[in-house]
Amino acid sequence: MLERLREVSATSAFNRWLGFELVSASAGEVEMHLAWRDEFGQYSGFLHAGVVGALLDTACGFAAATLSGANLLASQFSVRCLRPAVAKTFVVRGRVVKPGRQQIFAAADLEALENPGKLLAVCDTLLINLK
């Protein structure tokens, strides 16, 4: 399962550019890492909210893909930035909240590898099956 998701991720130039690293995958759950790079920073030096959103959205999509195996697309997602995102390595954990044939509800949490348990941002995503 993990290798399949890594292969899918590698097909995305955006994921390759960001450097998303899939660390683990099981039914309905994934963990990804992202190493800090200066070009990810916003004006105050924190991780840009656009990168935060991309990381959370991608984790939700991969978590959903572990159950559906289908071609999925986010139809809606909501990100809440809880504190400035600062880390050498960011950790995002995505999980399926409610699976379905046509819609999958997923969520993800972002934290710093160096400071586990202290949430930086959270996300809820609704994905649709493009079959």
Which domains does the chain carry?
Answer: 2-129 (3.10.129.10)
Q: Is the pLDDT of residue 80 over 90?
A: yes
Q: Is the pLDDT of residue 72 over 80?
A: yes
pTM of the model: 0.94
| Average pLDDT over every residue of 93-112 | 96
Q: What angle do CA 74, 102, 64 make, to 5 degrees?
A: 50
Give Cβ neighbours of residue 81 (< 8 Å, ≥ 6 apart). 49, 52, 120, 121
Rounded CA gap, 103 and 101, in Å? 6
Q: Indicate the pLDDT class of residue 130, thresholds 50, 70 and 90.
A: confident
Q: Is the pLDDT of residue 11 over 80?
A: yes
Q: Is the pLDDT of residue 71 over 90?
A: no
Mean pLDDT for the chain overall: 95
